[in-house]
Structure 1
Amino acid sequence: MKKLLLLFTLLLATNMLAQSYQFKISGKINSKKEKTPIEAATIHIEKVKDSTVVSYTISDDNGNFSLEGKSYNKNLKLFISYIGMNTFTKVISLDKKSTFELGNINLEEESNLLNEIVVTSRAPITIKTDTLEFNVKSFKTKKDANVEDLLKKLPGVEIDENGKITVNGKDVNKILVNGKPFFGNDPSITTKNLTKDIIEKVQITDTKSKSEAFSGEKGDANNKTINLTIKKENNKGWFGRVSGGAGTDKRYEGATMVNRFDNDQRFSVLASTNNINSPGFSFGEIQKMFGGGNNWIGGNGSFSINGRRFGGGSGIVKSKTAGATYADQYGKGVDVNANYFYSGSSSNDASKSNKEYTLPDRKYFTNATSTSNDENHNHSVSTEFDIEIDSTFLINISPSFVFNKREGNNRREEESLSESNVLTNNYTSNSFAKSSANNFKNTIDITKKLGSKGAFIKASITNQIDESNTDEINKSTIEVFGSNPSSETRDQESTISDNLVGLNTMVTYRFPLVAKKFFLDAKYSYQSDERENKQDTYDFNNSSQQYTDFNESLSSDFTYNDIAKTPSLELIYKTKKWRFNFETGFVNRTLENNDKLRPELSLNKKFNNIALDAGFRYRFDSKASIYLDYRLTNRVPGINQIQPFENVSNPSNIITGNPELKPTQNHRAYINFNKFNWQAGTGIYLYVSGSMFKNQIISNTSISDEFIRNSTYENTDGGYDLWGGGSYSKKVKLDSITTLKLRAGSNISVFKNFNIVNNIKEGAQTSALRPNLGVTLDWNKLISIETRYDVSFSKTKYDINTNQNQNFTSHSLTIRTKTNFPKKLEWRNDVKYTYNPNVVGFNKSAWFWNATLAYSVLKDQGTISLKGYDLLSQNTNAQRRATSNYIEDSESTVLERYFMLGFSWKFNSLGKKGKIRDYNMRF
């Protein structure tokens, strides 16, 4: 061991003392024929001996460039390339410090003469209109690298510990393979399972729908799509992985994925099961199978996507997943994608929370505990058909089906205490629910391009049918103490059906005012959602020992319609450097409620509002851009907020809707700026976003002396929120094998909200500052150390109860290490320290340490692993939340320490004639 340590030290010292040569090369690139400067030409310099890229840059709008760096090789070769031009080459010999001024460099158009020999080299980076293209051969990685390893080498691309990918600070929400989805466009499945050796090019563009790409519309400027081009000889074969493990405390996990590529035809299956709060696949692996929507990630690793739960929920979770995807091309112009996914989970959780309420004239406290057990099964089927009739006519059809069954029970105990800690009331409830839900949704997009000037007509229609049924039993008791003591016990059974029929259509006609530059879009949309709700609740009859006594106050039977008609006009102007759009629409909305059980509560409300959307985007050069956006939107009240129905399901908190509510108007502005210098390895990203609300919907609560709450809703003005932040990153190559990455960032938030308590309107402004600092050191592909420190300063100020102002501070330190020494052994550590001195009644600080040892076997296709979870037994999820009238501290069940022994095997036969290629498995 001492000899190995000595050898390691000598190698490190030798590399640190290696001879380096600094250089600076500058010049101006012109078109020889046009006599004009060439913007976005690629300039790169390679080692003569092995063609490894040393440094690269891109010319500015005047054709100027400056390439700086240092090399441990004296002889280099310079390449200057641009699409459609012959490549300029020059051999350069370096001294200790060299400066080369090349002056004007005139590129000639490519010639197709057979007797002409042109020396060319593939540039590492090429810009094609709105596409950034990387040549994979120019970026060196370890020989067994996967796509994730490759992407980490590309300038401006970042991948965090959860597999989330960003490009120049913008999220990557879609990854394509040869221009087509792979497992529902999922990023993580693609990046972790495809190997770098089969990829030829990586292309990055703004995310667009298929209809937008076909018609030439703008994409999503805040999200990126990565397209991986596979070499033709590597687009046929099998690949995948199989893994499993067993541990202490009866912990287990298992997962497998198998893929078959046959040119345009692709088929993949996956499955997993475990009881360690892990979905078996990452959030990113599953998210894109279902597109965007409402998503959340739990602190224990579980998550939910569009209502589908993976990993279960809170507490201790047993989860199962299974899925399949199929893609193929039939004939010319017909593409088919189909996905099936099953997720099942069972969870057990126990949680507790403490709240401190601040009233205009007093305080009171609540303490709550709850336990729950849930079982959930979800089946989802989605398909997509792209039918390209000809080069001007595209039809896209996307039907999907979801089937869900769920059952669970919950017990909750809650007590309220006065400021002097005198018990005023307590509430206990036990419930059991069993439900099923079916969902069908289909979208049809039809796009027809007209002429050659950019005109088109597009129609879209989406219909949705949701059906859900629930059987529920609730038993509860509320006791009120004090001068007027009372007690109420409930034992009830409810049958609930909730159905939705939705229709959303839009027609767009684009008229070019100036060919391919200036457009007028005329749009009309119609949206209708009809919801039917019926709840029959029966009290338990002691005589018959059955649930036979109908309880009208806890029952409902109504139909709720939300209809919106919106004609709008949009002006769009775009050039090579900048783009501007302005859209205005008139929203005519009708909210109609027909209550069959209580006809006097029926209502019909009409609202007319203006909607606005304006955006501006400017690209200063190939490295920097700025984006601005303003929107005026209108959010209507929910049925529970507007229907004047008294909800007494929780007798300690009775809620009544307000039929006089108006829609909330939201004025939102957003601006971001980013600049990334690929050559220098630096990047800066800044953003600011803010909203002002008119007719914001807030709660109006009356609290009795026994702290029984009666609430309704009101409109108010004056609410706002402001979000901002930024980051700066720097990549420093210390020597030929050592790289240092530095990142500093911060974000700030300020928001103001209101509520009304006992007829007094209280406003609270909460502001927070969260700076962070990160450092990553990589040495010779053998050692990687990543550290990150976060601190959060939060302050809440009240308009009236200023003596209740609060300051919160929390700290977090994360250290991740990875070593590959000796060669076949990988050792990973993930250590996190949290400190929250303001949490009351729970642990204020904790160390959380996970570690994994993985050893490669079977010619590096297999891996034996030993994993330790929460080695210090300090895992906690205590947290604090502040609102305008209360402060809450909460904590729930967490997974405790365990050790697990596992085995994983990865296989890959992609290649010429099915030749087997062995690649190192990534655990």
Structure 2
Amino acid sequence: MKKLFFTFILLIATNAFSQSYPFKITGKINSEKEKTPINAATIHLEKVKDSSVISYTISNDKGHFSLEGKSFHKNLKLFVSYVGMDTYSKPISLEKKTSFNLGTINLSEESNILNEVIIKSRAPITIKKDTLEFNVKSFKTKKDANVEDLLKKLPGVEVDEEGKITVNGKPVNKILVNGKPFFGNDPSITTKNLTKDIIEKVQVMDTKSKSEAFSGEKGDEDNKTINLTIKKENNKGWFGRISAATGTDKRYEGATMVNRFDNDQRFSVLASTNNINSPGFSFGEIQKMFGGGNNWISSNGSFNINGRSFGGGSGIIKSKTTGATYADKYGKGLDVNANYFYSGSTSKDASKNNREYTLPDRKYFTNSTSNTNNENHNHSVSTEFDIEIDSTFLINIQPSFVFNKRNGSNNRQEESLDDTNILTNSYNSNSYAESEANNFSNTIDITKKIGAKGSFIKASITNKVDKSSTEEVNKSTIETFGSDATIENRDQKSTISDNLNGFNTRISYRLPLVSKKLFLDTKYSFQRNERENKENTYDLNNTSLQYTDFNIAQSSDFTYNDITKTPALELIYKTKKWRFNFETGFVNRTLENDDKLRPNLSLSKKFNNLDLDAGFRYRFNSKASVYFSYRLNNNAPQLRQIQPFEDVTNPSNIIKGNPNLKPSQNHRMYVNFNKYNWQARTGMFFYVSGTLYNNQIISNTSISDKFIRNSTYENNNGGYDVWGGGSYSKKVKLDSITSLRLKLGSNISAYKNFNINNGVKEGARTLGLRPNIGLTLDWNKIISIETRYDISFSKTKYDINTNQNQNFTRHSLRFRTKTTFPKKLEWRNDVKYTYNPNLIGFNKSAWFWNATLAYSVLKDQGTISLKAYDLLNQNTNAQRRATSNYIEDSQSTVLQQYFLLGFSWKFNSLGKKGKIRDFNRHF
């Protein structure tokens, strides 16, 4: 079989090379008026026959370019374009020669507006200051591709199996449609539900708030935003999809989404339900709702996006989601965006954990199991109003409301054994809780630009109100064994209320020192959070059989204030290539706790610290840039860490705060370098991030002979963490229909953490390395084969107990295939093998195979699909991790094998007569 496969691949490659014509075109791009080189001009080659893009490149900072490749066609046409300049074109014939030196090409300023439109529509890539723009027509995908399929084709853009997007190694945390949020900036809802057909341009830029974009401030350079521009002819009409599926083991899935676009007005609704751990539209809808592709969910099956919980719970999950989004523009200066979401779930989970603890003089072991059932209902409403008074004055208002209702039960058993495996204590608990929570927040940003030199003044006000209430019943038993055996039974009911009132305001003024280059920002921020917590715990009265005996040891009643005042100055210098900033702030923080139940535990703490923030970015040219940042942060202890209250909720692990704690100080540095060579189709990025901790807050635990733990907190120096990684990718076009892509990457980590056990401080240093290699073959949109191999090495060394040093290794091998032959049939396979040789008590290896067959009907508007999940029935989530004082092996409930038969129907009235038009321009 292997020989047949490689023979097939060789025949494809040989056939491709035998029919193609190689070419190499070089030259230099100059401005006709200034006689200076043009950096980042786009040079692309088209077929004369149908205007399909063959290849493209970008000129360097000296104006030079080199365009190489192969083509099946001899008659081609070269185009050179740059924003604000007339396009240049030249016929190219490969019949007699294949190498062309065009010398210097002078571009003149654009002669009319129409010509600019032509340039924009034809150039595959355009670079506009800090924005990278891709022409969708120039990148081929399958006919029914969604935005996620399109993004995977763009140079420098990566989309992983969970739908997370990165651009040159930086994550994309926001996707806009025509500059506006779509379902609350949730990237995956946008990428999986909008089709490529309606998109004209894809723009990539640093993430910025509305106020930052308006004032010209730097954005979040660690994250990227993608803006999708809709074709004008496709910006009016209806489109959407309806899907349903049922399968074995009573598995089911259903989803629908309906969209109405009318120029500036946009309205969409969605709904979904399933019991296959799919949270719905974000990770749940794959390819054609579920008619293609495969889903990879973490073991707990839940996630959170922009504060909204999807899926919820862990283990086996039944979930349902409904939502609506609305956007419109009223008059000249008012933009409105509103979103509503409901997400509900029920979940069941059973987990198992085995730990090996290392003490200065001995070892001990704990084994625990738990069974959890949860039900969760979450409603959220968010709105945004942009009020542009004039070109210099913007007001942005963002109110939101969240209501959550949850109930759940938990059954837990835990036992401790000494180093000879003799049982020393056991703990059993059964609990049930019901809770409700309400959250309201509102942010008002006011920005006023002053003059033409970049000066502005801006103010921001945020208020937040959280209210929650919980009622819980807990029954537990802790038993110790041996000569002085003891047993303690608890049967209790607790009512808990937790309320937060928060207020945060910030004002800043930018003073230009050198016009549009050097600025001084003066800032002041004030934050006050007041939390009221009241917990009443009652023991069961054995006579009345009612919960009437007040338990003061497990009750609380306090008010906690956290007040921060921070004046700051920031110096900013920026040019076309350089950007440098340095900010220093003085942080005055006050923590106050008024304990009504235990007045002797009331406290007031004041902390004065210096915060620093510095960074610079340098763009070498249109292909490469480097970014560096340094931050000094001071973090005050949390209330539970400084409050000298003894928490005996878990009698086997008693915790007490330390009022003498100092703030922890973090020195963080980050370096990022990325480069994309448009000509060679190679891309690379590297990053290193490190944090050094001073006065880090760590646990100080005393463990009795019966392994009952009493813990508090201490400050510690010497902790650190370092994270880094890199990736190199190269795409080789064998011809206009066949390509190979190689990707090499690696992640590294090094960190040290500490714990104090029985008076002895133990440090653990962990080094991790995860290299990976991947290869993808694409042929004629019919066959796609992707392979990836990862191996993870982890090495932990202890400062004192060196005999406990650990080495872990984990292997992962993945194959993903896609075929679209015959034309209407799509077959996908996703096979993953994992091997964990260091696991103890769980399966060390497992194969995981998902497959999908999808057949198009009803003129490609309908799809019949058959989805097979975990064909080999070996799904597992067993894992091992090490800390400074224990090693843990764990495993929990995962979804088992099932098959789903489904049908999906799409509709689209965008464009003329509701047809989806194919411009037939591909790269």
Name the TM-score class by shorter chain.
over 0.9
- The letter of the residue matching 1:489 is N
Write the distance in 1 (CA, Å) between the matches of 2:732 and 2:916.
38
Write the distance in 1 (CA, Å) between the matches of 2:393 and 2:598.
52
The aligned residue for residue 291 of structure 1 is none
Write the distance in 2 (CA, Å) between the matches of 1:204 and 1:176.
10
The aligned residue for residue 840 of structure 1 is 840
The aligned residue for residue 469 of structure 1 is 469
Please say if 1:39 is aligned against 2:18. Answer: no
1:609 Cα offset (Å): 0.4
Q: Is the 8 A contact 1:424 1:480 kept in 2?
A: yes
The aligned residue for residue 291 of structure 2 is none
1:847 Cα offset (Å): 0.5
Alignment of 1:658-677 (within 5 A): 658-677=658-677
Q: Please list the CA deviations of residues 258-281 of structure 1 after superposition, one character each: whole Å capped at 9, or x if unmatched.
A: 111111111111111111111122
1:9 Cα offset (Å): 9.7
Write the distance in 2 (CA, Å) between the matches of 1:734 and 1:396.
51
Please say if 1:549 is aligned against 2:532. Answer: no
- The letter of the residue matching 2:615 is G
Write the distance in 2 (CA, Å) between the matches of 1:389 and 1:197.
36
1:53 Cα offset (Å): 1.7
Alignment of 1:267-282 (within 5 A): 267-282=267-282
Alignment of 1:754-773 (within 5 A): 754-773=754-773
Write the distance in 2 (CA, Å) between the matches of 1:557 and 1:285.
46
1:364 Cα offset (Å): 0.4
The aligned residue for residue 402 of structure 1 is 402
Kindly tell me: are residues 663 and 9 of structure 1, through their superposed partners in 2, closer, same or farther at Cα, counting changes over 3 Å?
Answer: closer
Q: Is the 8 A contact 1:368 1:412 kept in 2?
A: yes
Q: Percent identity?
A: 80
**Matched position secondary structure for 1:150:** helix
Q: Is the 8 A contact 1:298 1:313 kept in 2?
A: no
Please say if 1:189 is aligned against 2:189. Answer: yes
Alignment of 1:245-256 (within 5 A): 245-256=245-256
Please say if 1:573 is aligned against 2:573. Answer: yes
1:308 Cα offset (Å): 4.1
**Matched position secondary structure for 2:662:** coil
Kindly tell me: are residues 113 and 120 of structure 1, through their superposed partners in 2, closer, same or farther at Cα, counting changes over 3 Å?
Answer: closer
Alignment of 1:857-876 (within 5 A): 857-876=857-876
Q: CA RMSD in A?
A: 2.2
Write the distance in 2 (CA, Å) between the matches of 1:233 and 1:452.
37
1:88 Cα offset (Å): 2.2
**Matched position secondary structure for 2:453:** coil
Write the distance in 2 (CA, Å) between the matches of 1:571 and 1:620.
23
The aligned residue for residue 224 of structure 1 is 224
The aligned residue for residue 854 of structure 1 is 854
The aligned residue for residue 290 of structure 1 is none
Kindly tell me: are residues 398 and 285 of structure 1, through their superposed partners in 2, closer, same or farther at Cα, counting changes over 3 Å?
Answer: farther
1:61 Cα offset (Å): 1.7
Q: Is the 8 A contact 1:815 1:832 kept in 2?
A: yes
Write the distance in 2 (CA, Å) between the matches of 1:73 and 1:916.
28
1:47 Cα offset (Å): 1.7
Alignment of 1:628-777 (within 5 A): 628-777=628-777
Q: Is the 8 A contact 2:877 2:891 kept in 1?
A: yes
Kindly tell me: are residues 112 and 720 of structure 1, through their superposed partners in 2, closer, same or farther at Cα, counting changes over 3 Å?
Answer: closer
Write the distance in 2 (CA, Å) between the matches of 1:445 and 1:307.
20
- The letter of the residue matching 1:792 is S
Alignment of 1:567-646 (within 5 A): 567-646=567-646
1:869 Cα offset (Å): 1.2
Write the distance in 2 (CA, Å) between the matches of 1:835 and 1:197.
42
The aligned residue for residue 136 of structure 2 is 136
* Greater shift in the superposed pair: 14-23 or 772-781: 14-23
**Matched position secondary structure for 1:188:** helix
Q: Is the 8 A contact 1:87 1:120 kept in 2?
A: no
Kindly tell me: are residues 150 and 564 of structure 1, through their superposed partners in 2, closer, same or farther at Cα, counting changes over 3 Å?
Answer: same
Q: Please list the CA deviations of residues 51-104 of structure 1 after superposition, one character each: whole Å capped at 9, or x if unmatched.
A: 222222222222222222222222222222222222222222225863222222
Q: Please list the CA deviations of residues 386-418 of structure 1 after superposition, one character each: whole Å capped at 9, or x if unmatched.
A: 111111110011010011111111111101001
- The letter of the residue matching 1:843 is N
Write the distance in 2 (CA, Å) between the matches of 1:745 and 1:657.
43
The aligned residue for residue 100 of structure 2 is 100
Write the distance in 2 (CA, Å) between the matches of 1:403 and 1:114.
52
Q: Please list the CA deviations of residues 759-809 of structure 1 after superposition, one character each: whole Å capped at 9, or x if unmatched.
A: 001000011100011111111111111111110000110000000000000
1:301 Cα offset (Å): 3.6
Q: Is the 8 A contact 2:541 2:547 kept in 1?
A: yes
Q: Which 5+ residue runs of structure 2 have no aligned equivalent?
A: 287-295
1:875 Cα offset (Å): 0.8
Q: Please list the CA deviations of residues 490-522 of structure 1 after superposition, one character each: whole Å capped at 9, or x if unmatched.
A: 111101001100111110100111111111000
Write the distance in 1 (CA, Å) between the matches of 2:750 and 2:621.
33
The aligned residue for residue 529 of structure 1 is 529
Instruction: Give the number of equivalent residue pairs.
Output: 903
Write the distance in 1 (CA, Å) between the matches of 2:811 and 2:57.
39
Q: Is the 8 A contact 2:299 2:315 kept in 1?
A: no
Please say if 1:497 is aligned against 2:497. Answer: yes
1:124 Cα offset (Å): 1.9
Write the distance in 2 (CA, Å) between the matches of 1:229 and 1:862.
27
- The letter of the residue matching 1:849 is W
Q: Is the 8 A contact 2:668 2:692 kept in 1?
A: yes
1:669 Cα offset (Å): 0.2
The aligned residue for residue 454 of structure 1 is 454
Write the distance in 2 (CA, Å) between the matches of 1:896 and 1:66.
53
TM-score, normalised via structure 2 length:
0.95
1:678 Cα offset (Å): 1.9
Q: Is the 8 A contact 2:70 2:736 kept in 1?
A: no
Alignment of 1:14-93 (within 5 A): 15-93=15-93
Q: Please list the CA deviations of residues 723-774 of structure 1 after superposition, one character each: whole Å capped at 9, or x if unmatched.
A: 1110100111123322111101001100001010000010000111000111
Write the distance in 1 (CA, Å) between the matches of 2:114 and 2:273.
61
- The letter of the residue matching 2:852 is T
- The letter of the residue matching 2:678 is W
* Greater shift in the superposed pair: 685-694 or 324-333: 324-333
Kindly tell me: are residues 344 and 144 of structure 1, through their superposed partners in 2, closer, same or farther at Cα, counting changes over 3 Å?
Answer: closer
Q: Is the 8 A contact 1:277 1:312 kept in 2?
A: no
Q: Is the 8 A contact 1:861 1:918 kept in 2?
A: no
Kindly tell me: are residues 674 and 611 of structure 1, through their superposed partners in 2, closer, same or farther at Cα, counting changes over 3 Å?
Answer: same
- The letter of the residue matching 2:605 is K
Q: Please list the CA deviations of residues 501-552 of structure 1 after superposition, one character each: whole Å capped at 9, or x if unmatched.
A: 0111110100111111111000000011111100000110011111111100
Alignment of 1:807-818 (within 5 A): 807-818=807-818
Q: Is the 8 A contact 1:626 1:674 kept in 2?
A: yes
The aligned residue for residue 423 of structure 2 is 423
Q: Is the 8 A contact 2:301 2:312 kept in 1?
A: no
Write the distance in 2 (CA, Å) between the matches of 1:502 and 1:88.
59
Q: Which 5+ residue runs of structure 1 have no aligned equivalent?
A: 287-295
1:141 Cα offset (Å): 3.5
Kindly tell me: are residues 517 and 652 of structure 1, through their superposed partners in 2, closer, same or farther at Cα, counting changes over 3 Å?
Answer: same
Write the distance in 2 (CA, Å) between the matches of 1:266 and 1:678.
36
1:913 Cα offset (Å): 5.7
**Matched position secondary structure for 2:641:** helix
Q: Is the 8 A contact 2:511 2:520 kept in 1?
A: yes
Write the distance in 2 (CA, Å) between the matches of 1:100 and 1:62.
19
The aligned residue for residue 338 of structure 2 is 338
1:127 Cα offset (Å): 1.6
**Matched position secondary structure for 1:18:** helix
Write the distance in 1 (CA, Å) between the matches of 2:590 and 2:847.
54
**Matched position secondary structure for 2:189:** helix
Alignment of 1:871-882 (within 5 A): 871-882=871-882
Write the distance in 2 (CA, Å) between the matches of 1:297 and 1:521.
44
The aligned residue for residue 289 of structure 1 is none
The aligned residue for residue 357 of structure 1 is 357
The aligned residue for residue 125 of structure 2 is 125
- The letter of the residue matching 2:304 is S
TM-score, normalised via structure 1 length:
0.95
Q: Is the 8 A contact 2:463 2:503 kept in 1?
A: yes
Q: Is the 8 A contact 1:86 1:120 kept in 2?
A: no
1:619 Cα offset (Å): 0.4
Alignment of 1:255-404 (within 5 A): 255-283=255-283, 298-299=298-299, 301-305=301-305, 308-404=308-404
1:717 Cα offset (Å): 0.3
- The letter of the residue matching 2:422 is V
